[in-house]
Amino acid sequence: MSSKGKGRTLELEQIRKAEERAANQSAEVRKKSFLTVGVILAAVAGLTAWIMFAPAPPGIPYPSQGNFHLTDIAEPHVPYNSAPPSSGPHFGGLGPWGVSEEPIPPELYIHNLEDAGVVFVYNCPTGCDDLSGSLASYVDGRPEPTLVMTPYDGAIQDPDGTSYRAAAIAWSRVFYFDDLTDDVRAEVDDFIDIYHGIDHHAR
């Protein structure tokens, strides 16, 4: 074979090898792309399933009624939209943190909610030393300094009109309960973990 023929053969062989390398690289890229797409689809499917089947956070949400400050606790204002109140017009001062034996009016404790606190209320017309004692021990035993427990003179009712003996309140959210059982205590723990510590001052 002439030198010219050999050179042409080598050139064709190099072209063939280059095309083979390109084909292999393309196949590898497609394989990696398929794997990436598969991982993304699996992640999206997992997230969707988690969103669909994960338990809802504890408590019932209510539309925020804003942060209007009253000049006096007795100043007339719009009716609150939850029972007990969880946002809306309130006095500029704070109710005392911790366990209170005297009722703290909503117009005062709502400012505690605005300042990132969680408030516990209870109302037992026939008495409930067991519940109030359990709540007091629970609040005293929590590490958060910005919790309030207070007797409540008003109705503790969900939107359906069902009455309860107690509630945990965060800004525009209320968790209703009758007794501090182990299951309820776990939900109250979650309620505090999720909603405590969030500042709600209007910006």
Judge whether 202 lies within some domain.
Answer: no
148-190 pLDDT tens trace:
999 999 999 999 999 999 999 999 999 999 999 999 999 999 9
Same domain, 6 and 81: no
Q: Which of 112, 110, 125, 106 is nearest to 163 (CA)?
A: 125
Domain extent at residue 123: 60-195
Percent of the chain with pLDDT over 90: 66
Residue 26 has pLDDT above 80, yes or no: no
Residue 78 has pLDDT above 70, yes or no: yes
Q: Are residues 81 and 168 located together in one domain of the fold?
A: yes
Residue 200 lies in a domain: no
Q: Are residues 24 and 86 in the same domain?
A: no
In a domain, 201, yes or no: no
Together in a domain, 50 and 65: no
- Looking at the fold, whether 183 and 93 belong to one and the same domain comes out as yes
Long-range contacts of 179-186 (CB under 8 A, 24+ apart): 179/130, 179/131, 179/134, 180/131, 180/134, 180/135, 180/138, 185/138
Residue 94 sits in the same domain as residue 47: no
pLDDT at 14: 67
Check: CB of residue 196 under 8 Å from CB of residue 144: yes
Instruction: Indicate whether 43 and 64 sit together in one domain.
Output: no
Residue 54 confidence (pLDDT)? 61
Q: What is the pLDDT of residues 3-19, one digit of tens each?
A: 556 556 666 666 676 66
Record the pTM.
0.75
Q: What is the dihedral of CA 171, 176, 180, 181, to 10 degrees?
A: -120
- Mark whether 75 and 148 lie in a shared domain: yes
- Whether residues 127 and 41 share a domain: the answer is no
Q: How confident is the model at residue 49, as a pLDDT?
A: 46
Domain total in the chain: 2
**CB atoms closer than 10 angstroms to residue 3:** 7
Whether residue 17 is found in the same domain as residue 86 = no
- Same domain as 68, residue 21: no
In a domain, 133, yes or no: yes
128 in the same domain as 76: yes
pLDDT mean across residues, the chain: 86
Mean pLDDT of 82-109: 96
